[in-house]
A and B are shown apart, each in its own frame.
Chain A
Amino acid sequence: MEPSSRLERIQLNKATISFDDRFTLSEIDWIIEPHQHWVITGTNGAGKSALAAALAGVGKIEAGTVQGLPKNVGLVSFEAQAELIAKELKKDDADIMDVISLGTPVSEMIFEQCQDPELASDLVEKFGLTKLLDRAFRKLSTGETRKVMLIRALSSKPDLLILDEPFDGLDVDTLAMLQAHLASIIDTVPMVLVLNRFDEMPDFITHVAYLDKDRSDKERLEKKRGDKKRGDSGRLAFTVERQDEAAFNELYQLLHLKTTDLSVPEADPATKLPALDPSQPLVKLKQATIQYGDTVIVDKLDWTIEQGQHWQLSGPNGSGKTGVLSLITGDHPQCYTNDIFVFGFQRGNGESIWQIKQFIGYVSTALQWEYRVSTSCKNVIISGFYDSIGVYTKSTDHQKKIADQWLELLGMQERSDQPFNKLSYGDQRLLLIARAMVKHPPLLILDEPCLGLDDMNRQLVLALIEKICAGKETTVLYVNHHTEDKIKEIDNHLALEKNH
């Protein structure tokens, strides 16, 4: 792929592009004219992110041609974010070392190779990152790292801007700010957005590309190759112009498919948890405070979660939602300096975190990044019985059976033995949700569970959560930004404010 200067036509001609051996985009025909703005959408695992990344020069062209790719591409995606974070974490891998690496500060991440420092400073301010400039990048929350990525891309004077799920994880105000900023630059740079949620599509979008999994092709090839294992592939099913109303509505319908009746697989009767006293709350935080140096993130929060009382937790980025959750799960070191009662334990009296975690099922974006061990899809679900990342204990046949039932529910039974880290982001998310639910925990914490899911899978997950809420065993604590993702059984609401 020869990079060329800006604002030329980008043209993919029967391009087959492979990404390691795990995924292939087959025979893509696509033309992006200068001044067009595209949304790429489609089913989970169809290669939306792959196609976006291909425009940034990622992947290997196996056949066909790709022309007109600009040199300077601004790319924001979960994959790129995860890679950056992994790189930062790796800086800590020294052996026999004498010093702890403190990690790269946010200011360096943003300004070191910045093309437009003025814009960057402006965005830092608007995104509310000013106070975090000295903090180590790897200490940031998910939402915050995302913002750093966005600022880096926007201020790099790109010839093409590729934003893969830019709106996920942003609070309402930030989202509006970002959309306004994008709308203000439509005449300077062509944009390609990957969106799972159709209703988030900005008005300036002129075209939609819809991808789906390329099953026929895969079967054909498998036969030809004598049933050799081979990665998934996706194809560009069709493109739609915004102005073409009929075609546009049809696409909308497709993405709002109804989910069928479903039932939640049962728990494993053999893994019995110690009984909880029904007269005690599950969680009781008294005057809980989280503080870094002089910055107070959470200020004297009182919160009691009674058994069977489902809660929704909301608040802008940086309001400490993740912090509060990690006080409950025991992942936050300051849980030892707070007055916290969970599952019968007053924290800090000789209990181990594994005694706490056994009562909790948990999903979050951070967990997804930590889940870096190479293991099979089935094992990821099984690891939910052990609260571990990876499986380090022998599992029972019964547990394996339950894992199979979950895989079937998710429509992933054929991928049971495939490595988890080779799945698309959305499919990984689905598996982690199953992992959290598999033991029917007394407390199920879902921190933005629908991030990265397409509309169909989002419906599936919301329906599952409703089912779990309706049952008696599990109390649900649900965190989200999207007001439209309401769960009807949840009627307690805690809204956190930004303190700092």
Chain B
Amino acid sequence: MANYFNTLPLREQLAQLAKCRFMYSSEFADGVDALKGKKMVVIGCGAQGLNQGLNLRDSGLDVSYALRPEAIEQKRQSWKNASENGFVVGTYEELIPTADVVLNLTPDKQHSSVVTAVMPLMKEGACLSYSHGFNIVEEGMKVREDLTVIMVAPKCPGSEVRAEYVRGFGVPTLIAVHEANDPKGEGLALAKAYAVGTGGHKAGVLMSSFIAEVKSDLMGEQTILCGMLQTGSILCFNKMIEEGVEPGYASKLIQYGWENITEALKYGGVTNMLDRLSNPAKIKAFDLAEELKEIMRPLYNKHQDDIMSGHFSHTMMEDWANDDANLHKWRAETAETDFEKTPAGNVEITEQEYFDNGILMVAMVKAGVELAFETMTAAGIIAESAYYESLHETPLIANTIARKKLYEMNATISDTAEYGCYLYNHACVPLLADFMKGIKSDVIGKGLDVDDNGVDNARLIEVNDALRAHPVEAVGAVLRGHMADMKKII
């Protein structure tokens, strides 16, 4: 199988990457009609499989689960998830031939083998759906010509997909139709009905393409979302120890710091995150971020280039074929870092203190979000996609570090994200070595040592203007506005 993206002419590549449009509520007027009475069979009952299925069934659709025989025989968690929730569970042979829509919600690494196994069993003219496009775009999976292929990708973890639905709302969702597989032209109608069935239409749906979804998703997860947080954790921790900060405090400041400072992103983007700092600290964070961006830009470009050319997925798939040797090695190395091994101390750190004593962390988040966004948009990805894959998801990942540090983050993200995260980290730590030499505990660990908070007016205005003028802030304000509008219309 060849990388699908690379088979397209440049014109088509650019068109696909730029595909992304925020859909109007009126486009969902038909509700779930296109799927009414159709048989939906979900493969896999994990985070997405279970929660999407619960929502679809509560929206009046017919949902059942096809699991691999081992999962059924051994009554694995996936079998329990499906059967305890009262779903019909069966083997591929039993259920796939009856399906009008097959929802492939297995881990991405398994997609080739799963799809190859179920395809011959699928009805003529049925539909195959994904929640992530890696298999189609990077592995170049060729799907039978009579089948319709769509994607409905909630931009949130499965538990949120369910919780928001139960509340009467939904989570932002991206939909796409694989144009090479839309023989009856019904892909869009099916994808829309599916998005309604999960509640996504209430929180906002982006109409995109398989390619834009994959290329932006990969870029976001390896750089700002996981890579930057991992590198930042390691560098900041080591620096604090070097500067004599108490190790328990240092460990806690980082473990919970990412969560605390990125919470501010949810409300008002990068601007709000920096507005939480005192004026001198804000200017300091701004300057550090500028420096970091300068140093790291080539690395972000390289990641984006490797993703676009298929080099990244190619090397990762080689590792898959080699029993994940590199992945396992890097995972073990991460477990051995000092940050990982030092438990958070039993000290109180107030919410504001995480900002005041974590100026460098704020700067790293700012630099990472902006660079990822800039690099994606420069590569032809539309701003809305780039926003979701950078700024929007950062706080969600930061939460996992708060739980059990890097171990937890890497355990809960997909293998693909984890692999990319280590690549980034290996390149970024040495890249920032010189920069880190100049860092002292005033920007990480202890807070600025100033007598008063005075700053130069002109400089402050300059910094404030620059913050607000960044393009990620403009698109963020609009998209957050959509969410908030829908969340609390008076």
List residues of chain A with CB under 8 Å of any chain B CB: 89-102, 292-293, 330-331, 333-337, 350-355, 370, 373, 375, 379, 383, 386-395
Contact = CB atoms under 8 A, between A and B. Distances in A.
A331 B168 CA distance: 12
B159 A395 contact: no
Contact of B487 (A350, A351, A370, A373): A373
18 contacts: A91-B403, A94-B397, A95-B393, A95-B399, A95-B413, A96-B221, A97-B400, A97-B412, A97-B414, A98-B107, A99-B47, A100-B47, A335-B86, A350-B37, A388-B168, A390-B167, A390-B487, A393-B489
B84 interface: yes
Contacts of B81: 100
Contacts of B166: 331, 370, 389
A40 to B, nearest CB: 27
Given A98-B47, A330-B58, A390 B396 contact: no
Given A95-B397, A97-B47, A333 B54 contact: yes
Contact of B488 (A93, A334, A379): A379
Given A95-B157, A390-B487, A370 B167 contact: yes
B157 A387 contact: no
B86 A334 contact: yes
Contacts of B487: 373, 390, 392
Contacts of A387: 168
A94 B168 contact: no
Contact of B399 (A90, A333, A334, A375): A90
A313 B417 CA distance: 50
Contacts, number: 134
Contacts of B50: 100
Contacts of A383: 168
Given A93-B160, A94-B399, A390-B169, A336 B413 contact: no
A391 B487 CA distance: 7
Interface string B399-415: 11001000011011111
A390 B413 contact: no
B157 A97 contact: yes
Interface in B473-490: 486-490
Interface in B146-197: 156-160, 163, 166-169
B328 interface: no
Nearest to B404: A91
Given A336-B86, A390-B167, A390-B169, A97 B413 contact: yes
B417 A350 contact: no
Given A331-B166, A373-B167, A388-B169, A94 B60 contact: no
B26 interface: no
B297 interface: no
B31 to A, nearest CB: 9
Contacts of A100: 46-47, 50, 77, 81, 158-159
B412 A98 contact: yes
Q: Which 3 A-B pairs have the closest CB atoms?
A: A388-B168, A95-B396, A97-B412
B85 interface: yes
Given A370-B167, A394-B489, A352 B396 contact: no
Interface string B98-129: 00000000010000000000000000000000
A351 B169 CA distance: 18
Q: Is the interface of B mostly helix, strand, loop or mixed?
A: helix
Given A373-B487, A388-B168, A92 B157 contact: yes
B62 interface: yes
B202 interface: yes
B446 interface: no
Interface of B: 32, 36-37, 46-47, 50, 54, 57-62, 77, 81, 84-87, 107, 156-160, 163, 166-169, 202, 221, 225, 393, 396-397, 399-400, 403, 408-409, 411-415, 417, 486-490
Nearest to A292: B84
Given A386-B168, A388-B169, A392-B489, A98 B413 contact: yes
Nearest to B197: A352
A62 to B, nearest CB: 16
B399 A98 contact: no
A352 B400 CA distance: 34
Given A94-B400, A95-B393, A350-B36, A391 B157 contact: no
B167 A389 contact: yes
A314 B227 CA distance: 54
A156 B183 CA distance: 66
B168 A96 contact: no
Contact of B411 (A92, A99, A335): A99
Contacts of B159: 92-93, 100
Contacts of B59: 352-353
B62 A93 contact: no
Nearest to B485: A392
A337 B86 contact: yes
Nearest to A353: B58
A94 B396 contact: yes
Contacts of A353: 58-59
Contacts of A373: 167, 487-488
Contacts of A97: 47, 157-158, 400, 412-414
A243 B50 CA distance: 60
A335 B58 CA distance: 10
Nearest to A102: B77
A369 B47 CA distance: 23
A392 B417 CA distance: 34
Contacts of A393: 489
Nearest to A349: B60
Nearest to B108: A98
A330 B415 CA distance: 36
Contacts of A93: 157, 159-160, 396, 399-400
Contacts of B393: 95-96
A91 B411 CA distance: 13
Contacts of A98: 46-47, 107, 411-415
A161 B411 CA distance: 39
Contacts of B58: 330, 352-353
Given A352-B58, A387-B168, A389-B167, A395 B490 contact: yes
Contacts of A336: 57, 86-87
